[in-house]
Structure 1
Amino acid sequence: MFLKKCLLALCLIPTILFAFVEHQNTEVYPLISLQQESEMVSAPVVFNLDTLFYINNSANSYPVTFRANGISDRLQKFTKNYNAITDSVYIQSNNNFIETYFNDKLLFITSNIDLENSDLSLIELAKSRTKSVQKSLDKLVNLTPKEWLIRIGYFTLSLVFLIAFIKLVNWLFRKLNVPLSKIEKNFLRKNRNILRYFIPKSTANIFVFISNIVRIVIIGVALFVYAPFMFSFFPWAEHLVKLFYGYIATPVKFVVFGFIDFIPSLFFILVIALFARYVVRVIKEISADIEIGKFEIRNFHKDWAKPTGNILSIFIYAFSLVLIFPYLPGSGSSAFQGVSIFIGAIISFGSTSAIANIIAGIVITYMRPFQIGDRVRIDSIVGDVIEKSILVTRIRTPKNEDVTIPNANILVGTIINYSNNEGRSIIVHTTITLGYDLPWQKVHKLLIEAANKTTFVEKTPEPFILQKSLDDYYVSYELNAHTFESKKIPFIYSEIHKNILDIFNDAGIEILSPAYMAARDGSLTTVPSKLKSEDKTPLDKIVDHLTGRNQQVKVEKSNDD
């Protein structure tokens, strides 16, 4: 490689000298007076230290040196990356002059003025000059046998180096795979190791698999980048190699210089992100202290601390993102803006109900209608609150059923909280209907007695009765009793109803609720415990005799005795 660099430097010395001479010539031209220019009748067109032809001109015309130097400069500029396969030199005839082109670029013009002191016609002179240019260009690609041997030698050395590099990479990775196999033994045995799902079934070692992937990538990149360099020693491939590396260099330079230009914006983004993270951390610490009672704010409830901290964190991160967005790479492009609008539209159209539940969850949080563990009734669902989230609330019913209710439904529904009474009792109540023939004082006494016999019903304050209505056939009596056991209300109602039945049956009073319609034959009552044998009808006595009920009643009385 060092030998190649030395040879390339030696090859560049003539070019540097030529450029220096040309530079010196361009500095000399302005020193020539107009009189001297008018006296000059010819000037050489030089390309790669070779004189191609002369520009001849008569006196008092355009200075010949300017024309010759202009043609030389264009030849040097246009043919810098000459490729014999793709590039061409040709002429194009007009009325009084002929143009010579290199591809689609004009090199020079041959006119009738150039025919002075020449025995050639206009077309012959133009072809002669064009042929001189083509011969000079052919020298760039037509190498001598010695030059071919040197370039082939460079190609061979490059190929040997590439093969040695590939063998070295393979050897190093084979050595690396030995310790990787030992490390692998306990790695894939972990149940939470998700990487084992991404390796082929025939591969038992993920580290070796990754190592082989890296090895293949390194060799592939080496071949992709180094192989064109090997062929750059041949004249017919120089242009293609330069074009290839140009294609590679363009995105690389775009990324590198884009990252360099992005560094100031990156610092700005980091400052905003770190500041936002710091503020969010402070908010979380404050909300945690409020929640456990270490820090107090007047008229600010403890259960507000966590949701308020989360809401403030979301707003801070959103505001930070708004500040960061203009500094993101490509944020000003139409594609980036189009994708942002598309994602925003999808979120807007697809999350209407979710956003409604989120807003309802925030409102419910600050309304504080219930807390975790409270016994509540939401619409027709009764149960204990076991979870509150930003989207839903979960309730466990007395039947051990977990019910999930969207917060939007809770916000528009009816909420009854049986637990949030701050030391006050809950009044359980039930209604029965009785006929107008019963004195209301007796009914009140029996209902209060049933309430006092019920477990978990408070004696103080005392139960009380409300006569709710005087209907067509009966009077509605409502029994009200106090209790502090909100989670045992179903059991309390069951006990009250059982006690009412027992006490009213013992008192010989039948409960007509809502109404009792029957064809009576004169019997006094329908209460089983109070129906005497002498009060039964003859038909009932015959039925009892046929069914053996009389004998059963006698046996029960003898057992009681």
Structure 2
Amino acid sequence: MLIITLVSHLLYGQDTSSKQNSKQNDVKNSVQELEKVPVISKNDTLFFIKSVKGNYPATVRARAINKNLKILASSYNKLTDSFYLKTSHDYIEISCNRNLLLTVTQGDAILEGKPIEILAKLRKQNIKEHFEKNSIISNIEWFKRIGSFLLCLLALYGIVRLINLLFSKINKRLSKIERHFLNRNGSLLRYFIPGNSNNIFVFLMNVLRIGLIIFLLFIGTPFMFSFFPFSEKLVQKFYIYIEEPVIYIFNGIIDFIPSLFFIIIIGITARYFARVLNVITTDIEREKLQLHNFHKDWAKPTGKLLTIFIYAFALVLIFPYLPGSGSSAFQGVSIFIGAIISFGSTSAIANIIAGIVITYMRPFQIGDRVKIDNLVGDIINKTILVTHLRTTKNEDVTIPNANILVGNIINYSSPETGNLIVHTTITLGYDVPWETANDLLLKAANRAPLLFKDPAPFVLQTSLDDFYVSYELNAYTEAYKKTPFIYSEIHKYILDVFDEAGIEILSPGYTAARDGSVTTVPSHLNSETKSPISKLIDHLTGSNQPNITNKKN
């Protein structure tokens, strides 16, 4: 047993010594075939990446780490950025914020001859010290940065002054050009600018100048502050944020140019037809051009309707060429706007249709004296939506066209009706002969001013009521705008005439108890048919004794 133990111990010692010798030989061979590549940032070597021949190349790893460090160097801020380690199963990640910089593996630890945790901490510390050292700016560097800021500020100020100077000279030249073109007969330029505009070109150039200055300030001001460390990172983010939309807009504009030419051609054509139509309607309105059975007051509304149709048709042709017209968002907004117009403008559309119908019905014209909804006045203006009426009390009333269309309209000044007949009604008892009433009313009409003698006034007995007769006086006049005054004068002279005749203007009423007379008809009333009271009064006054009167005579 002892012999076996000694033999086994000798054999194990020989085997251990042979393994150690093989490991040493492998290390020697590895050192001879080791690849070592430096990690460099801003000309400063931070550490080396090592690898054995046949493993993942150290050159590739070092290049990737250098790239990550370069990206970090462009935006590093020691106040906000921090480095940390993240341990996994057989490697450790070194990151800054959420950006991975490099990994430390077990193979790196073996080649460096250090535990993986210590090696990862050393490399993290080297990177941190390197960036903190380079983040400190010297006084000379500060002077350079401040000088660059002031130089950019001066350059921006000079560019703005230069823009203002150039545009002032351009505006003077454009003012002369605009007056020259607008004063030329047959110039097409005046068809493409607003009707009562002054210096429209100068206005557009000023808008362009202000827009250009704002653009320069928008781009140049952040660039000036990019020289300072505290704002350098913000400026970079700012330019990154605006880069994508600017590129998108620029590419969209370039792609839109062919469609823009098509839209311009359609717009010019529609504008040309609208201007020609405007000239035609103006000539019809001024009676320079006459069309059979087409009234001149139809010219303006008809021209507006046709102009709307022309521009609507042009818009239909232009719509497919607008940017984003095929997108669902654009279509959704179009449907939404259409729904709002449909539900919110029901009354407005009703007034518009009524205005068009009234225009072609021609129930009145501007200046006519009319009666609408018990309002009497003169038409002072009419639009597609409402009609403006000025009453005889000098009150301005706005009436929706839809209300006018469904109501009654009385036009006192229509040329087709001739002279206006003014009329008023009085009531008298049956004891007044109708001949007397007619004569007195005609006498009052002859005294009243502004009434025609030819055709002569006339009286109508309009009704025979229970206790009185209605007499209507009618007379012709052409002063339809003075009807309140005419009626006042007629009533005044009626009172005077009946007062002179001793006849009261009243409407008598009878009760069931009569005074005893047989009749109240004037032509049949005599001494035999009078009431007892009347006979007594005649006896006391002597009215019933004609013979005594004759004897005295």
2:52 maps to what in 1? 57
Instruction: Report 1:3-402 matches (<5 A).
Output: 41-48=34-41, 50=45, 52-57=47-52, 59=54, 61-62=55-56, 66-77=60-71, 79=73, 81-114=75-108, 119-130=113-124, 133=127, 140-141=134-135, 148=138, 151-152=141-142, 154-155=144-145, 157-158=147-148, 161=151, 224-225=221-222, 228-231=225-228, 237=229, 240-248=231-239, 250-251=241-242, 254=245, 258=249, 261-262=252-253, 264=256, 274-313=268-307, 327=322, 360-398=354-392, 401-402=394-395
Gaps of 5+ in 2: 1-31, 163-213, 521-536, 542-553
Cα 1:330–1:63 change in 2 (3 A) is same
1:30 maps to what in 2? none
Cα 1:403–1:71 change in 2 (3 A) is closer
| Aligned equivalents of 1:106, 1:256: Cα separation in 2 | 30
| Aligned equivalents of 1:163, 1:78: Cα separation in 2 | 29
Q: Please state whether the residue corresponding to 1:283 is helix, strand or coil.
A: helix
For the aligned residue pairs, the C-alpha RMSD in angstroms reads 5.6
One-letter code aligned to 1:243: L
Cα 1:140–1:445 change in 2 (3 A) is closer
| Aligned equivalents of 1:64, 1:347: Cα separation in 2 | 72
Deviation at 1:336, TM superposition (A): 13
Deviation at 1:512, TM superposition (A): 5.1
Residues 410-431 of structure 1: CA deviation (Å, up to 9, x unaligned): 3444321111142633333333
Cα 1:434–1:391 change in 2 (3 A) is same
Deviation at 1:75, TM superposition (A): 4.5
Cα 1:40–1:366 change in 2 (3 A) is farther
One-letter code aligned to 1:307: P
Equivalent of 2:464, from 460, 470, 488? Answer: 470
Deviation at 1:156, TM superposition (A): 6.2
Residues 344-375 of structure 1: CA deviation (Å, up to 9, x unaligned): 969976x7766665554444333322112222
Deviation at 1:245, TM superposition (A): 4.3
Q: Please state whether the residue corresponding to 2:503 is helix, strand or coil.
A: coil
Deviation at 1:248, TM superposition (A): 5.0
1:10 maps to what in 2? none
Residues 66-107 of structure 1: CA deviation (Å, up to 9, x unaligned): 555544554455555444554454433333333333443334
| Aligned equivalents of 2:39, 2:424: Cα separation in 1 | 120
| Aligned equivalents of 1:226, 1:111: Cα separation in 2 | 42
Deviation at 1:254, TM superposition (A): 3.8
Deviation at 1:521, TM superposition (A): 13
Residues 206-229 of structure 1: CA deviation (Å, up to 9, x unaligned): xxxxxxxxxxx9999899546535
Asked if the contact 1:262/1:329 (under 8 Å) is kept, the reply is no
Cα 1:494–1:310 change in 2 (3 A) is same
Cα 1:339–1:251 change in 2 (3 A) is farther
Deviation at 1:152, TM superposition (A): 4.8
Asked if the contact 1:43/1:54 (under 8 Å) is kept, the reply is yes
Cα 1:392–1:243 change in 2 (3 A) is closer
Gaps of 5+ in 1: 1-38, 173-216, 232-236, 525-536, 542-561
Cα 1:249–1:453 change in 2 (3 A) is same
Instruction: Please give the TM-score of this superposition, normalised by the length of structure 1.
Output: 0.58
Asked if the contact 1:57/1:113 (under 8 Å) is kept, the reply is no
Cα 1:386–1:434 change in 2 (3 A) is same
Q: Please state whether the residue corresponding to 1:416 is helix, strand or coil.
A: strand
| Aligned equivalents of 1:141, 1:434: Cα separation in 2 | 116
Cα 1:151–1:337 change in 2 (3 A) is farther
| Aligned equivalents of 1:501, 1:117: Cα separation in 2 | 135
Residues 226-252 of structure 1: CA deviation (Å, up to 9, x unaligned): 653543xxxxx2x84143244156447
One-letter code aligned to 1:57: V
Asked if the contact 1:41/1:64 (under 8 Å) is kept, the reply is no
Instruction: Please give the TM-score of this superposition, normalised by the length of structure 2.
Output: 0.59
Deviation at 1:40, TM superposition (A): 5.7
Q: Please state whether the residue corresponding to 1:422 is helix, strand or coil.
A: helix
1:555 maps to what in 2? none
Cα 1:493–1:359 change in 2 (3 A) is same
Cα 1:489–1:82 change in 2 (3 A) is closer
Asked if the contact 1:45/1:69 (under 8 Å) is kept, the reply is no
| Aligned equivalents of 1:163, 1:430: Cα separation in 2 | 89
Asked if the contact 2:68/2:101 (under 8 Å) is kept, the reply is yes
Asked if the contact 1:427/1:481 (under 8 Å) is kept, the reply is yes
Cα 1:133–1:454 change in 2 (3 A) is closer
Equivalent of 1:514, from 507, 514, 520? Answer: 507
1:31 maps to what in 2? none
2:404 maps to what in 1? 410
